[in-house]
Every structure is written in structure tokens, then in C-alpha cells.
């Protein structure tokens, strides 16, 4: 058994959730599905540096003398794709993103394999505001609530409602002020436990304490206009990040954040040149974890219950002791 579901029942439930959520997200945000790359050329600057230090998996095209990198996310690629496909203001795209993150520390919610919906939408320059960001978050939260109602209706004897009616907005500085003696991850647990659903805003910049809540790559999200969607997960008794998103950098915030991150050498990369020359549209976008959504809605204790990956012998042994079936 795999908790509430047999392994075969789990596969059926995963498909139901993914199909429903994907359809509702596309409808709510006016998104069109597109195909996306699994690997990119490193010199384009399109790969995602995540916190700014993770090293992507790379390999050589032996016959052509070309190095390629497996994508870590599609945050930058999506923005160039919007221009290439000719999307207008108010229109956007989404794609299934599969990535390998070799620097990940494995646990109940972290895997070497990442599967998420990556989405991006064209906005006006005047939409680069906190109000527009919060409106977008509320739209996405409605999709989460609809999905919960849908899957709970299919399995009324197995699942129960966990999401509140509204999502709480709070900045990383306000969160630090609330819990100044706690580490960032503990602060997230505390605020998520209280409100059940939280959008933690303004991640990446330095707080008044001199620290950062969490590091973010300087070249896609505007650190003043971004955030994470966090839900309280009663199964693991901790917060669970379901999405990282934000309004993307313009040339001014890119210049500032590259300087703060000591990463001005990236200006020579193709993607960064396009941004600095104002050749790309203004956008908002993010990633939404597919396996984490399934894990949350299906009350799973381990992400390996909803995705096939590779685990250490210690993790496998511990899951066997707890009667957790890993795919």
C-alpha cells in the first residue's frame, strides 16, 4: 500500500490532478501550451542559476564539439519564447518542465528530478506593481482551491479539505520582524501553520538584519516583485513550497541585481544583452511543482510516492520501515 492509495490507484489520482490543474491554470491565466527544450547551450545564458550557485548537468555533443546543459528551469527561456511566438499583452504560455538538480539535498519534499509547469505571461510596463502580482497570485490560488474540491469530490472517503478561503500576503521583512530569532525556514513553518496558505513576498534582497531570507538568481525575478506560495502540510507538520514566481526584471532591476550579486559578467550573455537592450517583453511568470501538488492533495508523506526518482539506500530503508512505497 502507498498510504491511502495502492500504487496503481496513486497513478490514476496523479493523472486526474495534473490534467485538471493544467486545464484550469491555462484558462485562468490565458495560457497556451508550448513545447520546451530539455537542454540549452550555456553561452546563451538561458539556463536557470536558481539561487545563483547550482551547477547544471552538462554533456558534450561529441560529433559536433558543442557543450550542452540540462535545464534547471525555464525561467529565462520562456521570456524569449514569448517574443519568438509573438504573444501579446495579456497572453501567455506554459509548458511541462523536466529538470535534473544534482545539488539538491534529498528529503521528503526534495528530489533530484524536478517536474513543474513553467508559465510566463506578457504584461504592460505599468503592470509591474505589487497589486498586479497579488492579483495573479489570487488567480492561481483559485486554481488550487478548485483542484482540491475536484479531487476531494472523487475520493471523499480518503481526502479532506486543507486550504483556507483566502491566501495570506506577507513580505520577507515583515516575517523576519515577526520572528526575529528564528531561521528563515522556521519562520515559513510558523506563518504557514497559522494561515494555512501564504504568499511570501520580496525574496532575494538583503533584510534589515543584514541577511537574506533566501538567495535568488539575480537575472529573472525582480526581488521587489516576487515570492513563494507556501501551504501548511499537516501530513509532514511543516510548510510546503508549491510555487516560486514573480514579475520579471526590467533593465534597471537587472543592472541593480547583477551588481548586488557580483554577477555583472553575465551581461555578455545573449539573454542579458536582449534584456539590457529592451528587446524582450515585460512579463510575469513562475513554476508550479507538479509532484508537490500531487503530494499535497493526495496526503503523501514522501515525494517519491508521486514521482519516480533515485534515492539513497538510507532513504529507501527508512521509507520501508514507515511502509512508504516509493515509485
Question: Can you give the chain as a three-state secondary structure string?
Answer: CECCECHHHHHHHHHHHHHHHHHHHHHHHCEEECCCCCEECHHHCCCCCCCCCCCCCEEEECCCCEEEEECCCCHHHHHHHHHHHCCCCCCEEEEEEEEECCCCCCCCCCCCEEEEEEEEEECCHHHCCHHHHHHHHHHHHHHHHHHHHHHHHHCCCCCCCCCCCCCEEEEHHHHHHHCCCCCHHHHHHHHHHHHCEEEEECCCCECCCCCECCCCCCCCEEEEEEEEEEEEECCCCEEEEEEEEEEECCHHHHHHHHHHCCCHHHHHCHHHHHHHCCCCCCEEEEEEEHHHHHHHHCCCCCHHHCCCCCCCHHHHHHHHHCCCCCC
Give the model's pLDDT for residue 110. Answer: 92
CB 109 within 8 A of CB 240: yes
Q: Does residue 282 belong to any structural domain of this protein?
A: yes
Reference 118, options 85, 75, 83; nearest CA is 75
The HSE-up count of residue 35 (CA atoms within 13 Å, CB side) is 3
Q: Does residue 1 belong to any structural domain of this protein?
A: no
CA 257 to chain CA mean position, Å: 20
- How far apart CA 152 and CA 159 sit, in angstroms, is 5
Range of the domain at 268: 7-321
Per-residue tens of pLDDT for the chain, all 327 residues = 446 888 899 999 999 999 999 999 999 999 999 999 888 888 877 776 655 566 778 888 888 889 898 887 788 889 999 999 999 999 999 999 988 888 888 999 999 998 999 999 999 999 999 999 999 999 999 999 999 999 999 999 999 999 999 999 999 999 999 999 999 999 999 999 999 999 999 999 999 999 999 988 899 899 999 999 999 999 999 999 999 999 999 999 999 999 999 999 999 988 899 999 999 999 999 999 999 999 999 999 999 999 989 999 999 999 888 888 887
Q: Does residue 96 belong to any structural domain of this protein?
A: yes
Give the model's pLDDT for residue 1. Answer: 43
Q: Does residue 327 belong to any structural domain of this protein?
A: no
Give the model's pLDDT for residue 3. Answer: 64
Q: Does residue 43 belong to any structural domain of this protein?
A: yes
Beta-bridge partners for 2: 5
Q: Does residue 213 belong to any structural domain of this protein?
A: yes
Per the structure, the count of domains in the chain is 1
State the catalytic residues: 48, 101, 116, 228, 241, 244
Q: Does residue 107 belong to any structural domain of this protein?
A: yes
* pLDDT tens by residue, 95-148: 999 888 888 889 999 999 989 999 999 999 999 999 999 999 999 999 999 999
Give the model's pLDDT for residue 53. Answer: 61
Give the model's pLDDT for residue 52. Answer: 55
H or E element: which one contains 134?
A: helix 130-154
Instruction: Identify the CATH number of the domain in which residue 98 sits.
Output: 3.30.930.10
Q: Does residue 225 belong to any structural domain of this protein?
A: yes
Amino acid at each position: 500500500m502507498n498510504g491511502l492509495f495502492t500504487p496503481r490507484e496513486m497513478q490514476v489520482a496523479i493523472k486526474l490532478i495534473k490534467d485538471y490543474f493544467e486545464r484550469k491554470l491555462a484558462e485562468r491565466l490565458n495560457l497556451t501550451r508550448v513545447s520546451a527544450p530539455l537542454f540549452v547551450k550555456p553561452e546563451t545564458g538561458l539556463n536557470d542559476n536558481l539561487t545563483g550557485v547550482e551547477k547544471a548537468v552538462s554533456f558534450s555533443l561529441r560529433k559536433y564539439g558543442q557543450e550542452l546543459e540540462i535545464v534547471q528551469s525555464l525561467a529565462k527561456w520562456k521570456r524569449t519564447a514569448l517574443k519568438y511566438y509573438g504573444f501579446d499583452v495579456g497572453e501567455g504560455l506554459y509548458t511541462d518542465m523536466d529538470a535534473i538538480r544534482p545539488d539538491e539535498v534529498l528529503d521528503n519534499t526534495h528530489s533530484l528530478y524536478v517536474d513543474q509547469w513553467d508559465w510566463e505571461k506578457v504584461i504592460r510596463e505599468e503592470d509591474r506593481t505589487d497589486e498586479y502580482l497579488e492579483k495573479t497570485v489570487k488567480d492561481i490560488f483559485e486554481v488550487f482551491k478548485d483542484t482540491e474540491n475536484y479531487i476531494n469530490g472523487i475520493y471523499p472517503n480518503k481526502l479532506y479539505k486543507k486550504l483556507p478561503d483566502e491566501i495570506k500576503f506577507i513580505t520577507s521583512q515583515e516575517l523576519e520582524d515577526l520572528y526575529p530569532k528564528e531561521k528563515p525556514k522556521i519562520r515559513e513553518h510558523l506563518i504557514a501553520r497559522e494561515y494555512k496558505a501564504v504568499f511570501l513576498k520580496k525574496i532575494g534582497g538583503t533584510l534589515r538584519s543584514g541577511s537574506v531570507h533566501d538567495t535568488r538568481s539575480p537575472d529573472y525575478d525582480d526581488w521587489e516583485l516576487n515570492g513563494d506560495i507556501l501551504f501548511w502540510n499537516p501530513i509532514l507538520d511543516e510548510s510546503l513550497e508549491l510555487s516560486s514566481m514573480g514579475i520579471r526584471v526590467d533593465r534597471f532591476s537587472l543592472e541593480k541585481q547583477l551588481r548586488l550579486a557580483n554577477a555583472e559578467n553575465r551581461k555578455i550573455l545573449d539573454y542579458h544583452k536582449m534584456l539590457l537592450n529592451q528587446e524582450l517583453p515585460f512579463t510575469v511568470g513562475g513554476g508550479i511543482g507538479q509532484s508537490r501538488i500531487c503530494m499535497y492533495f493526495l496526503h503523501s508523506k514522501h515525494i517519491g510516492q508521486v514521482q519516480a526518482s533515485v534515492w539513497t539506500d538510507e532513504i529507501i530503508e527508512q521509507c520501508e520501515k514507515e511502509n512508504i512505497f516509493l515509485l
